[in-house]
Structure 1
Amino acid sequence: MTHWHSDSRQLSAGSHDHQLARLAACGIVLALLDAALPSPLPGIKPGLANIVTLYALATLGWHAAVWVSLLRIAGAGLLLGSLFTPGFWLSLAGGGGALLLLAAAQLLPARCFSVVSRSLLAAGGHLAGQLLLARGWLIPHDGVWLLLPPLLTAATVTGLANGLFTLKLLESAKDET
């Protein structure tokens, strides 16, 4: 945990802060990779950075997942030159939607959700957040809903793939300890 030293007035970072920073940095790198990949349709991306959020949720808990997600969105926005552009707000809305569904899942017994099912929830929440913002602000026309079938298909496929990758990552980390 971050804390102040009363005698020197310096802010020091603890091991938890270092873990969050490392995960956020990994998320930023994955977000940059995502941005570089060609897209067959606007909005269809693998969402690789979500792997880091899921990993943070599974290993460090809910608050860490929120911090990693928000730091990743802000950091990628800065590095891509898209901070406070419509793309940034879409990313934030998607991240917020994913976090809302993950928060709801946290309220239910853990045995109800695997890493893969949480990933699918997050992918659906991400899509919902982005589409609602796009419909309400960027494309105020009901035609935006015509994108739902291909986007939902892509969210399901990428959510499943990211969840399986996160599961393997967690198993690998568990084997190392």
Structure 2
Amino acid sequence: MLLSTTREDHLVAWLAALAIAIHVLESALPSPIPGVKPGLANVITVLALVMFGWRVAAWVSLLRVLAGSLLTGTFLSPTFLLSLSGAAASLAALLVAHALVGQRLSPLGLCVLAAMAHMLGQFAIAYALIIPHPALLNLLPVLLSAALLFGLVTGTMAARIYRQHPAVST
């Protein structure tokens, strides 16, 4: 039996492969604070959202987390759980923002929102399941500051790419 694929399937596969490659390369970067990474693969997710819609962005994000964890050897580990919770929180925030304001929120704004939501999602799971200690709350301002900084960086990248390649129809 031959499975038929659509143009959207090919688009998701291509974008997910790009996001997975970035995710794997980024996992090799040293981090001064555990769990703090630039989130460069988020650029692909946000561009998928603004250029191709919510469904493509959700598939790209979820496939990145799943395949990225398989390739880095973290599948079903606490790292995977944190990555998945961050991606889910980020996708939820992007869905709400996109539904409420649509294209009026720029790729820069979406990346900042996604980075902050991602960090909050990871922090909530870390606090609830991994380190349920009140002292962990002292890290939250540092983590959210890092998320804001990296959200601005990835958002600037996404905005620049989007200006060069505006909306493309699927």
Matches within 5 A, 1:2-21: 9-21=1-13
Q: Which residue of 2 aligns with 1:65?
A: 57
Q: CA deviation at 1:107?
A: 2.0
Pair 153,135 (structure 1): closer, same or farther in 2 beyond 3 Å:
same
Amino acid at match of 1:101: A
Matched with 1:74 is 66
- More relative contact order, 1 or 2 (CA 8 Å, 6+ apart): 2
Query: For each residue in 1:18-50, what CA deviation from the matched residue of structure 2 results, as whole angstroms up to 9, or x when unmatched?
Result: 110010001001111111111011121100110
**Structure 1 residues 30 and 111, CA, compared in 2 at 3 Å: closer, same or farther?**
closer
Q: Are 1:157 and 2:149 matched, yes or no?
A: yes
Question: What is the TM-score normalised by the length of structure 1?
Answer: 0.91
For 1:112 and 1:89, the matched residues in 2 are separated by: 32
Correspondence 1:161-172 to 2 at 5 A: 161-172=153-164
Higher mean C-alpha displacement, 81-90 vs 166-175: 166-175
Letter paired with 2:162: L
**After TM superposition, which residue ranges in structure 1, 4 or more long, deviate above 3 angstroms?**
none
Deviations 1:33-90 (A, max 9, x none): 1111110111211001101100110111001110000000001011001110000000
**Which of 80, 83, 97 is matched with 1:88 structurally?**
80
- Count of residue pairs brought into register by the alignment: 168
CA contact (8 A) 2:50 2:103 kept: no
Secondary structure of residue in 2 paired with 1:118:
helix
Measured at CA, do residues 111 and 80 of structure 1 come closer, stay the same or move farther in structure 2, by a change above 3 Å? closer
| Native 8 Å contact 2:52 2:167 kept in 1 | no
Deviation, 1:112, is 4.1
- Secondary structure at the residue paired with 1:43? coil
The residue correspondences of 1:1-177 to structure 2 (distance < 5 A) are 9-110=1-102, 112-174=104-166
Q: What amino acid is aligned across from residue 117 of structure 1 in structure 2?
A: G
Distance 1:17 1:42, change over 3 A: same
For structure 2, list consecutive stretches of 5 or more residues without a partner in the other structure.
Answer: none
Give 1:110 deviation, angstroms.
Answer: 2.4
Q: Secondary structure at the match of 1:18?
A: helix
Q: Which runs of 5+ in 1 are unaligned?
A: 1-8
What SS does the corresponding residue of 2:3 show, helix, strand or coil? strand
Q: Cα distance 1:111–1:169, how it changes in 2: closer, same or farther (>3 A)?
A: closer
Question: Partners of 2:66 and 2:102 in 1: how far apart?
Answer: 30
Residue type at the aligned position of 1:49 = A
